[in-house]
Chains A and B, each alone.
Chain A
């Protein structure tokens, strides 16, 4: 459905040289456990960056730092050159970072349409007077939100399901709706937490095309976390490997595959799993 028809090398060339996200020596501890430990890297506009690592390596914690769920203990995060570390999640979203969650977090008792409509709230600025008295301004903005929301649902093939309660969608549709919802906040950076989890091989291939397509069509950067090595290798021109909260390797898939540090980290996990 979503064919980006683009190779990794072409993706690599597409990157602009505009630095979107930059982290400096980012760290956070939980009761002595160093979940993220001195992480520094940059992200360029229109880049798809993959983060991999064994269980408990600190991948989701890193996302939680980017999206403001946690404030870092030390270190800094810059987005478009401005510091965002320690900001509340909603303010970070306003700056242009949106995310999905490892265990899908939809507004599950509400309709598919409302899931999108809710996050379009930034498009309305009418006050109490307008909504109470059904003014022109109120109607225009509400109509615009409705139109835009339907447009989004159409893009993601969910338009016919707009009336269905979100929790009654299939697993794949829920994942798609969650991505659509994140994009509806108009981010410049999209964080995907395990976008291929629970999918079979064919679905994973579809997901790869979808993510590339999103990057091209929405003209944004994407960081994604996944366990599935082939999935990440086929999608991301650049990969970061985390272990015990530290970056142990960074570079193109070819380099990562051969890095002895990475092999050690993964074999280590296999042996005690």
Chain B
């Protein structure tokens, strides 16, 4: 009996960590972009969705999983960098202000969600039995632990390690952190901020694309609105952690994933989205700079 409870807890833990690590992947993109141009990139959830489509279509075309991931990552990176070039960059050059940028981001988000509708039958694509992940289950007596959840968690961790490597040990990663810390000084040091901003968007989009494919494999389908909620949740995760910080965004993602799973376990599954928002509002009011941050006031 105790064994069953422990396994049940393990299963829920796996669910929470899988969900949380996917949120963390998306949250990284939000937090990086915010760190570098102080924009809440509402369209980020759509990069996640586009990545998922690319990956799922690759699988449907008969490609193996290890080829589907690069497809999702490339699609996410391209759409993210592309949107930056077409929409955000002109706004930045004209110094249009944060409101204009935020509204543009919302516009892009809605546009991308709906542009998929133009392709007949594309609004919902199921993977069916072609899902290379969906079938495996580890059975322990009467309890099953889904292999997908474990894979999602492991793959997310691997991606985050690669990501941390890029941010800390490559030239572009270092330049990105420099621009984030102080754009003017970075420019004086010969860093081209435009190139670095593109790089940041591409990197964030790549992570979102990969997370999208993971999500699609878990759900066994893709749909044009699939980016909306995970996108908002990941943003919440980034805020919970304290937006602008990479390790905190990851922690925020995991916390949110675990909390949401807990809400489901306790029997409030229909309120799980509301929980995330309530949590967000409480955090914003009590600790506007994130749960790990110290209070800071605007400079007068």
Contact = CB atoms under 8 A, between A and B. Distances in A.
Q: Is any CB of A less than 8 Å from a CB of B in the complex?
A: yes
Interface of A: 31, 60, 64, 69-70, 101-102
A149 to B, nearest CB: 25
A60 B299 CA distance: 10
Contacts of A69: 297, 300
Contacts of A102: 300
Contacts of B139: none
B86 interface: no
Nearest to A69: B300
A69 B294 CA distance: 18
For the residues of B in contact with A, the DSSP-based class is loop
B300 A101 contact: yes
Interface of B: 294, 297, 300
A70 B297 CA distance: 9
Nearest to B298: A69
A69 B297 CA distance: 9
Contacts of A64: 300
Contacts of B300: 60, 64, 69, 101-102
B297 A31 contact: no
Given A31-B294, A101-B300, A102-B300, 5 more contacts: A60-B300, A64-B300, A69-B297, A69-B300, A70-B297
B231 to A, nearest CB: 33
Nearest to B295: A31
A67 B294 CA distance: 24
8 contacts: A31-B294, A60-B300, A64-B300, A69-B297, A69-B300, A70-B297, A101-B300, A102-B300
A101 B294 CA distance: 26
Nearest to A193: B300
A208 B300 CA distance: 24
Report, nearest first, the 3 A-B pairs whose CB atoms are least far apart.
A69-B300, A64-B300, A31-B294
Contacts of B294: 31
Nearest to A64: B300
Contacts of A101: 300
A147 to B, nearest CB: 32
A60 B297 CA distance: 14
A178 to B, nearest CB: 14
B86 to A, nearest CB: 29
A86 to B, nearest CB: 15
A70 B296 CA distance: 12
Contacts of B297: 69-70
B297 to A, nearest CB: 7
A211 B207 CA distance: 59
Contacts of A70: 297
A223 to B, nearest CB: 16
